[in-house]
Amino acid sequence: MDMLPSAEELKGSKIDIEVSPGVVKRIPAAEGLKREVERYLPPSGRYYDQNTVEAIFASSIFAGRGRCVSCWSPKHVLSMRRCKRQCCVCGTEEHLGLECPALYATWRWWREHGHTPSPAIQSRPTTAQLAYLIVAKVVKPIENIQGPLIVNMDHPAVREFYQGKAAPEVILSQPKEPEVDTDARVHPNTSNHDHPDLAHRHCLDHIRQLENKIGAMENRIQSMESTLNIVLDAIRDTILDQTHKNEERLTALEYTLGMGEVKTSEERRSLEDDADD
């Protein structure tokens, strides 16, 4: 990909980063990345960073390997793929049976939780990979390794990855639950029309859910359009290649027929000459 550092540029490149309070280390840049550079970028939209997510939620949610890594409740199915529960992290049902795309963590973090993530999941870079991304100007320099990554939207790879998507926004606190009207708790049969504030909150919650679903559908449509374009390009290339081959065969056939006509003409003249003799 264009605008990525060469081996010569990476050689000896080091970045000063605070790896713990008061401890700054000079981190050498990785010589290369195992995946495409865009796979290391933060997810689009609002997301949780591995360095803060355990402080935001109850630490027991992410303790050990006894959790379903799709919904993050205690393990309840043999395979994550069978999970049909709402995610405890993002609060949606948009990724049933899949990893939560709102979690931005390293491959090592996922493995520590007993799971090898899908290649489609955004991977938080290691310190060496982060140094590479900073040298490549894909992300902006940061002082603390625990801090959120700030992407450089001027870089072509970054701009292309987030095109048509929401910019990344790290979540630093757990969303607050809507307050429930005390009268509504005491009188469960009371209509929401009698409590406009409660009805308004319910409407806002419903709108947010619809917006999340619409956003997910838009992402799926974009992915399908991209796949369709790839298929159409492949079909077009196949047709052009076959047309070219057919033209070559036709030219060869015309040449063969032409040579046959010449030979027939020569044989006819030879017979006529023999007859004259």
Domain boundary among 150, 177, 204: 177
249 in a structural domain: yes
Closest C-alpha among 118, 148, 109, 153 to residue 130: 148
Same domain for 169 and 258, yes or no, is no
Closest C-alpha among 22, 36, 272, 38 to residue 152: 38
- Residue 131: per-residue pLDDT: 92
151 DSSP 8-state letter: B
Count Cβ atoms below 10 Å from residue 107 Cβ, excluding itself.
16
* H or E segment and range at residue 268: helix 196-276
Domain boundary among 177, 205, 224: 177
Same domain for 140 and 67, yes or no, is yes
The Cα 179–Cα 168 span in angstroms is 28
Strands 14-20 and 23-28: antiparallel
- Residue 182: per-residue pLDDT: 44
Contacts for 18 with CB less than 8 Å, ≥ 6 apart: 24, 25, 143, 144, 145
26: left (phi over 0), alpha (psi -120 to 50) or beta: beta
Structure tokens at 118: 């899908």
54 in a structural domain: yes
pLDDT tens digit at each of 277 positions of the chain: 457 777 777 777 888 888 888 888 888 889 889 899 999 999 999 999 999 888 888 767 887 788 899 999 999 998 899 999 999 999 999 999 999 999 999 999 999 988 898 888 999 999 999 999 999 999 999 888 888 999 999 999 999 999 999 999 999 877 655 454 444 444 444 444 444 455 555 565 556 566 556 655 655 675 566 667 787 878 988 898 888 888 888 888 888 887 776 667 777 777 666 666 6
Q: CA 53 → CA 19, 60, 105, 272, distances in Å?
A: 18, 12, 10, 99
The Cα 106–Cα 121 span in angstroms is 10
Give the number of domains in the chain.
2
Same domain for 110 and 201, yes or no, is no
Same domain for 22 and 155, yes or no, is yes
Same domain for 152 and 227, yes or no, is no
Same domain for 65 and 146, yes or no, is yes
Same domain for 143 and 213, yes or no, is no
- Residue 185: per-residue pLDDT: 44
191 in a structural domain: no
Same domain for 122 and 223, yes or no, is no
251 in a structural domain: yes
Domain that holds residue 172: 7-177
- Beta partners for 163? none
Ranges of beta strands (E only) in the chain are 14-20, 23-28, 46-49, 103-104, 169-170
Q: CA 88 → CA 54, 57, 85, 92, distances in Å?
A: 12, 9, 9, 8
168 in a structural domain: yes
1 in a structural domain: no
Same domain for 116 and 172, yes or no, is yes
Structure tokens at 219: 């992402």
Torsion of CA 5, 167, 119, 68, to 10 degrees: 140
2 in a structural domain: no
Same domain for 84 and 212, yes or no, is no
Same domain for 79 and 166, yes or no, is yes
190 in a structural domain: no
Domain boundary among 129, 149, 177: 177
- Residue 192: per-residue pLDDT: 46
Same domain for 211 and 74, yes or no, is no
On whether the CB atoms of residues 162 and 153 are closer than 8 A, the answer is: yes
- Residue 190: per-residue pLDDT: 42
